[in-house]
Amino acid sequence: MRFRLSPLLPGLLTLAFVALVPCAFAQQNFDNVQIEVIEVAEGVYMLRGSGGNLGLSVGDDGAFLIDDQFAPLTEKILAAIATISDKPVRFVVNTHWHGDHTGGNENMGAAGAVLVAHENVRARMSVEQFMKAFDRTVPASPPGALPVITFTDAITFHWNGDDLHVFHVDPAHTDGDAIIHFKGANAVHMGDTYFSGMYPFIDVGSGGSIDGMMAAADEVLALADDATKIIPGHGPLSNKAELQAYRDMLATARDRIHKLISEGKSQEEVVAAKPTSDLDAEWGGGFMQPDVWVGIVYESMAAGH
Ligand SMILES: [Zn+2]
């Protein structure tokens, strides 16, 4: 197993820490991260380390990986895959451009994987990005980290005896989201369109939208049944009933905030009104604090998304 560890991108990591882990972990050392392997279905796994949840298909054709967390974790991720399969990683599909999902791209590409993503992922990674929600500039990614195959609506991999349908949804978490449906295995990886059990981050500056988040959930609910395993971008492995509850929560928050906006309330006034207070105990325990969540939903609607 050969790969090259690239130098850290300080901006990218800082962004990811701010965006996706509590401040208490800001000094986290990747040396202490362990990769947890969770069997989802036959030949399908979810891997958790630090950053977005990974999806994995293994079989005779080779390993097919969804997202790759951070560059310093590549060696551990490949070692975890090697405990399941002796085949190399042939493809990496990115669910969107954020650094906790694409940080290992350059290493994976150097190790021989073909990088695949929606065309807007490559477009955003190719140039500097400004994350308004966190007041952060994210530098352009090196050429070796960029997806080499891009798609617009959908692409299907006939791989490991299954059909892996990778489809774009209208802007939800970002404008380059992809959802992966393992049709035979009856499993789905939703990327960051789904944060299981918690308020999600919506990257309005990258085209994200509360209405798009609801629509993405609806698309997966329509293809899922009670046995479907659903891998979220963040949070534990999930299922249709939990996704439905999350979708209902999104709609409730959206409708309440929409009402306050239509009454002429400012963003500060909407946040101060605590429109999700009865939901916060159940959904506000992740890294999106309730006030931040309400502000982001407000911004999504104010931006016309
Ligand atoms: Zn994300």
What spacing in Å lies between the alpha carbon of 263 and ligand 1's midpoint?
31
* Neighbour count for residue 237 (Cβ, 10 Å): 17
Q: What's the confidence (pLDDT) of residue 152?
A: 98
Question: What is the pLDDT, as a whole number, of residue 133?
Answer: 81
102 Cα to the center of ligand 1, angstroms: 10
Residue 113: pLDDT band by 50, 70, 90 thresholds? very high
Taking the centre of ligand 1 as the mean of its atom positions, its distance from the CA of residue 96, in whole angstroms, is: 7
Work out the average pLDDT over 23-39: 76
Split at pLDDT 50, 70, 90, the class of 4 is very low
Kindly report, residue by residue over 147-196, the tens digit of the pLDDT: 999 999 999 999 999 999 999 999 999 999 999 999 999 999 999 999 99
pLDDT tens digits, one per residue of 45-60:
999 999 999 999 999 9
Nearest to 210 by CA among 200, 196, 198, 222: 200
Does residue 11 surpass a pLDDT of 70? no
What's the CA-to-centroid distance between 158 and ligand 1, angstroms?
27
pLDDT band at residue 8, thresholds of 50, 70 and 90? very low
- For residue 185, the tally of other CB atoms under 10 A from its CB is 20
204 Cα: distance to centroid of ligand 1 (angstroms):
11
Q: pLDDT tens for residues 196-217?
A: 999 999 999 999 999 999 999 9
Distance (angstroms) between ligand 1 centre and the Cα of 169 equals 15
CB contact burial 271-286 (16+ within 10 A = b; e otherwise): beeebbeebbeebbeb
Q: Is the pLDDT of residue 27 over 90?
A: no
Indicate the range of 7-11, 25-29, 83-87 predicted with least confidence. Answer: 7-11
In the structure, ligand 1 is a single-atom ion and the residues with CB under 5 Å from it are: 98, 192
Q: How far is the CA of 288 from the centre of ligand 1 (A)?
A: 12
* Residue 173 CA to ligand 1 centre (angstroms): 7
Residue 192 Cα to ligand 1 midpoint, Å, equals 5
